[in-house]
Structure 1
Amino acid sequence: MKKYFTFLFVSIFIIVVASCSNQKSADTRTISTETLKDKIAGGWAGKMIGVTYGAPTEFKAQGKTFDDSIKWKPSDVKGSIWQDDIYVQLTFFMTMDQYGIDAPAKKFQELFAKAGYQLWHANVQARKNYYDSIFPPQSGHPDYNLHADDIDFQIEADYIGFMCPGMPATANQIADKIGHIMNYGDGVYGGVFVAALYSEAYFDNDISKIIDKALLSIPAESDYARIVNDVILLHQHYPADWRAAWAELEAKWGKVQICGAGTSFNIDAKLNGAFIVMGLLYGDGDPAKTMEISTRCGQDSDCNPSNAMAVLGVIKGLSGLPVEYQNAVKAIGDSTFINTSYSFNKAVDKTLDYAQKLAVQNGGESASGELKIKVQQPQAFALEVAFPKLVFDRKISAFATEGVQIKGHWSNVGPKDPTKLEARSQATFSGNAGDEISFTLEGTGVSISGNWFKDGGKADVFVDGQFKRSIDCYFNYSNQQHENMDLYHITNLAQGKHTIKVVVKGEKRPESAGTNVYITEALVFKTADKINENYKFSFQK
């Protein structure tokens, strides 16, 4: 009897220990430090390779595919040293180095606002917002950033996914803070999605499964999730014809952007994110084919192959990329990206260091040449929609004879680069206190456009006679000035006639060379269903 109970006890003990061991194994993922570093290097290399591959084609195909030859050779990767796809996020690394991973969002905004490199779209608006004392999350909010849905965070969230192997929930927490510096809603989801792609790619090489898992990190009801699911559906219907899939996608989603409204220019995160997925699904894991398809889809066609190639880089590791690609990246491994203290080699080493720290902070272990990572389930954000039911209607030029009223002494100025605009006045401007310009329009939203110049001054904005806020038209950061920027916008107006009045204050910030307020046009929006909301593909009708 004693032997029986002893045997029974030992058997139960073995079962319990085995069960605990299996449970622990199921709760963790293990990756060797060598493999992890190789995959991190592959991700960064993919960014550098992809962005230089597509750079000569950027925005040369708007609303159409790029059908000219793509001339690229591996040694061209040296051009990545000057690419915003990389240097912006390296500034975020520098912020972490100085102030820690948990530094407040305002500190990240400050360092990238003060960096010496040039910025555009949502990023440059976030930079200006910093100097106008508009800080995160308001700096990316649609009330203060008309570029909220733009691609910016999508192209600079790579480092988050790279340092969160198998940790999509941790990646989301970081992306929530950083993404709202410059974006909102779908603009943030773009960065969340690509970071989740990388996070999953460390432990899976099935591209379709990686995409499906990454979708779990963003709200299923978001337009970003909808367009990615549309690409998946189109790939299923046209498995061997990406051009047919592209045409269907363009017809549904190609004209719903806010930035670039009324034009063929589209820097919206959704559409460009869809082109990343197009390259991945139709590229079949082949680097050259993946980059070519993402590039030929057009629009921001250096960023999209950069993200797509980075996913393959994480899957394959640097050692799994074509040898000529590896050698080209290694040849510039110690070259510093502009206005940062980072090189490729340093980025790889620091990413590895942060990945190990984050894994341990989140219940994992780092020892004996391997990293054990506690399994995380993706946690999607609550839904944010930047500009619901907002549809472009028309433009009203500041030189129009109807709908525009000017009081005071205004002058006209031509474009800085006459080759980019028609040979006419580009803006009307005044620096005289009390001078005003008014736009009268029918609609539910409006953006007043003008110039950010080094002699820019301040103005007050009134909507239907009510003061809304003051604006500042000064900009001369990182040797940049900008034409035709959003000076002020308002949405959710009641349907009907409205008057937007801009009154020059004759005031300026100390560093400005003048008090001028430059006005170019008003973009008028209406409330309506967007094209994509009721659209059916040809095979769904």
Structure 2
Amino acid sequence: MKNITFIVYIFVVVVLCAGCSSAPSQTAVPSEVTMTKEVLADKIKGGWAAKTIGCTYGGPVEFLHNGTMIQDYTPIKWSEDRVKFYFDTFPGLYDDLYVDIIFVNVFERLGLDAPADSFAISFANAGFPLWHANQVAKYNIKQGIMPPMSGHWLNNPHADDIDYQIEADFAGLMTPGMPNTASEISDRVGHIFTYGDGWYGGVYVGALYSMAFVSDDVEVVVSEALKTIPAQSDFYRCMKDVIGWYRQYPDDWKQTWFECQKKWTSEVGCPDGVFAPFDIDAKINSAYVIMGLLYGRKDFFTTIDIAARCGQDSDCNAATAAGILGTITGYANIPEIWKESLYEIEDIPFAYTDVSLNKLSELGLKHALQMIEKEGGKVEESQVTIKTQKPVAVKYEKAFEGHYPVDKMAVNTVLQDKTEWMFDGIGFVLKGYVKCADEDYVAQVEMHIDGNLIETANLPVAKASSIDDRRVDLFHRYQLQNTTHKVGFKWLNPRKDAQVYLGEAVIYSDKQNFNH
């Protein structure tokens, strides 16, 4: 009889555990979630506050450790006055926030259905320092190239960069439990700057924030949000790998870091990262974000510390990981040692904006309440009911397809009235800059390829302040025939106090270069 009982017991256990695995349940998030307005507000404030803290924590080590992790013995300093210190001395650190604020203000001014062009024009005219895909997009918009083409890889060599990933927080914080609505916002806004994996970085971050409102299980948040990304994309595969490595090495984030380094750190787009340890690609930096979240196991310090110590864009990655965790836990549950750094600045507007941290949280709550109603939920006097969404993958797109970096040529010459150089391949990105005593001067330069006029470029002066309309890379061209090409430049409006400097050129082929 005991044997029969034991067999029955084993059968029941097997039936109950059928289909069990380490993967999160497919029904991890209910179809409706109700919470008080107070809890909703606390989560939104937690997201923005934690993002500010994480950005500040990683600031001192941003891009100082490229291609290597930051060792445990290397101190990353923190103090009560740390945020105020950067507010006063380096406000450009908070590009993660002041770009977000531009979009929040557009929603406040024009409503939830504001069109892409309104975001683009407000962004391009904002007058703050920008870099990489953001600055390329600003230049494109000023030259009349509007979204989505302003972020398309044919017009933006930085289309796979991290830019929209670090400024997509607003999309998730105003769409609690509604990741597909966050994706729709990301379609409008994210394509201003990025395309393909660069865009997916922002889509994913928006979905992570959105899911953070309705699940307190980090693994569920990370896995459910990934369903917004097409499975055939490199971005999806990279995040899937990180989740898998986390399950394989649950107590060793450094082993997962090494696995990422081996498989996912080959830069193709950004000319600053090709043939260099610098890597601002969205995939690898998103990998570091979710490494912080997964291995941090909801401990605030551990989460931001791991995200920062993965290296590369340490301030942005710590900021994103912190913001998502702050949304999960709420502002009230951020440890005091971190929150106290905000008290002195929480009512001071971020640089280049009229919006403070407290004001940003207020606007975030206002827009979230509007979005809950718009998407079929209920907003009552003291509580809200969110009609949650099952994440759906956005459209598939891939930048730089069929383009492989094979060489970096040192052109290194000052443009005369006419200058020529030659290369073998299907495309190139040529770096450089324009200098002039008159900072309002704009050089007009024709580019010819194989005798054909390709474009007449307006090239503003690169100002010392980094707040300008410069073209990040002087010239680029993709999708040429794979042969020898002659590239010629003609300076249409030269002047003696101006200089157009042609620097290095990244060369692309339609075949990978394996010299080993």
- Name the structure 2 match of 1:467: 453
The one of 68, 73, 88 aligned to 2:79: 73
Deviates more, 1:100-109 or 1:152-161: 100-109
Structure 2 equivalent of residue 498 of structure 1: 485
Task: Please point out which of 205, 213, 220 is paired with 2:224.
Answer: 213
Q: Is the Cα–Cα contact under 8 Å of residues 139 and 180 in structure 1 kept in the other structure?
A: yes
Trace 1:254-269 onto structure 2 (pairs within 5 A): 254-259=265-270, 260-269=273-282
Check whether the contact 1:51–1:303 (CA below 8 A) recurs between aligned residues.
yes
Q: Does 1:440 align with 2:422?
A: yes
SS at match of 1:181: coil
| CA–CA distance in structure 1, aligned partners of residues 317 and 100 of structure 2 | 16
For 1:455-534, list aligned pairs within 5 A: 455-475=441-461, 480=467, 485-506=472-493, 516-528=499-511
Cα deviation per residue 1:186-237 (whole Å; 9 max; x = unaligned)?
Answer: 1111011011011001111111111111011111111111111111122122
Task: Name the SS for the 1:458 alignment partner.
Answer: strand
Q: Which moved more, 1:51-60 or 1:90-99?
A: 90-99
Deviation of 1:517 (Å) = 3.3
Picking from 332, 339, 344, the partner of 2:345 is 332
What is the Cα deviation at residue 326 of structure 1? Answer: 2.6
| Alpha-carbon distance between aligned partners in 2 of 1:26 and 1:268, rounded to the nearest angstrom | 34
Amino acid at match of 1:278: M
Deviation of 1:178 (Å) = 0.4
Residue 530 of structure 1 and its aligned partner are, at CA, apart by 9.2
Considering only aligned residues, what root-mean-square deviation do their CA atoms show, in Å? 2.2
Higher relative contact order (CA 8 A, sep 6+): 2
Q: Which moved more, 1:487-496 or 1:186-195?
A: 487-496
With over 3 angstroms needed to count, the CA separation of the structure-2 counterparts of 1:117 and 1:501, relative to structure 1, is same
Structure 1: runs of 5+ lacking an equivalent: 1-24, 400-426, 532-541
* Paired residues of 2:123 and 2:138 also in contact (CA < 8 A): yes
- Three-state SS of the structure 1 residue aligned to 2:81 is helix
SS at match of 1:457: strand
> 1:216 aligns to what SS in structure 2?
helix
- 1:203 corresponds to which of 200, 205, 214: 214
Q: Are the equivalent residues in 1 in contact too, given 2:140–2:146 (CA < 8 A)?
A: yes
Q: Secondary structure at the match of 2:342?
A: helix
**Residue 43 of structure 1: aligned partner:** 47
Distance 1:475 1:373, change over 3 A: farther
1:100-145 alpha-carbon deviations (Å, 9 max, x no partner):
2322222212222222311111111111112211111111111111
Deviation of residue 438 (structure 1)?
Answer: 1.9
CA gap 1:452/1:122 in 2 versus in 1, 3 angstroms: farther
The CA distance in 2 between the partners of 1:457 and 1:332, in whole Å, is 41
For 1:483 and 1:372, locate their aligned partners in 2 and report how far apart those are by CA, in whole Å.
47
Shift of 1:69: 1.3
CA distance in structure 2 between the aligned counterparts of 1:40 and 1:530, rounded to whole angstroms: 47
CA distance in 1 between partners of 2:501 and 2:352 (Å):
30
Q: 2 CA distance for matches of 1:235 and 1:226?
A: 14
The amino acid of 2:350's aligned partner reads: F
Q: Percent identity?
A: 38
Contact 2:425 2:482 in 1 (8 A): yes
Q: Give 2:20's aligned residue.
A: none
Give the corresponding residue for 1:186. 197
Distance 1:428 1:189 in 2: 38
1:307-326 equivalence runs, <5 A? 307-326=320-339
* Partner deviation per Cα, 1:314-368 (whole Å, 9 max, x = no partner): 1110001102223332332211101111111111111000001011111111112
Using the size of structure 1 for normalisation, the TM-score is: 0.83
Query: Do 2:230 and 2:236's aligned partners in 1 also have CA atoms closer than 8 Å?
Result: yes
Listed as ranges, the matches of 1:144-159 within 5 Å are 144-159=155-170
Per-residue CA distance 1:13-36 (angstroms, 9 max, x = gap): xxxxxxxxxxxx964321210000
The amino acid across from 2:52 in the alignment is: M
Larger Rg: 1
* Residue in 2 that maps onto 1:272: 285
Q: Where does 1:5-16 land on structure 2 (aligned, <5 Å)? A: none
CA distance in 2, matches of 1:120, 1:358: 31
Shift in Å, 1:371: 1.1
TM-score by length of 2: 0.87
How far apart, CA to CA, are the structure 2 residues paired with 1:54 and 1:395?
Answer: 31
Does the CA-based 8 Å contact 1:112-1:127 persist in structure 2? yes
CA distance in 1, matches of 2:283, 2:152: 17
Deviations 1:458-492 (A, max 9, x none): 11112222221111111467753699931221222
Q: Match of 1:451, SS? A: strand
Q: Read off the aligned partner of 1:70 and give its amino acid letter.
A: I
- The count of corresponding residues between Structure 1 and Structure 2 is 472
Alignment of 1:19-418 (within 5 A): 27-67=31-71, 68-79=74-85, 81=87, 82=91, 83-259=94-270, 260-399=273-412
CA shift digits 1:161-201 (9 cap, x unpaired): 01110011110110001001111111111011011011001
Q: Do structure 1's residue 428 and structure 2's residue 414 form an aligned pair?
A: yes
Change (3 A) 1:338 1:483: closer
Contact 2:68 2:310 in 1 (8 A): yes
Aligned pair in 2 of structure 1 residues 205, 393: CA closer, same or farther (>3 Å)? same
Name the SS of the counterpart of 1:506 in structure 2: coil
Separation in structure 1 between the aligned mates of residue 292 and residue 30 of structure 2, nearest angstrom: 33
Asked if the contact 1:460/1:471 (under 8 Å) is kept, the reply is: yes
Q: Measure, in 1, the Cα distance between the counterparts of 2:481 and 2:325.
A: 48
CA gap of 1:183–1:501, structure 2 versus 1, over 3 A, is: same
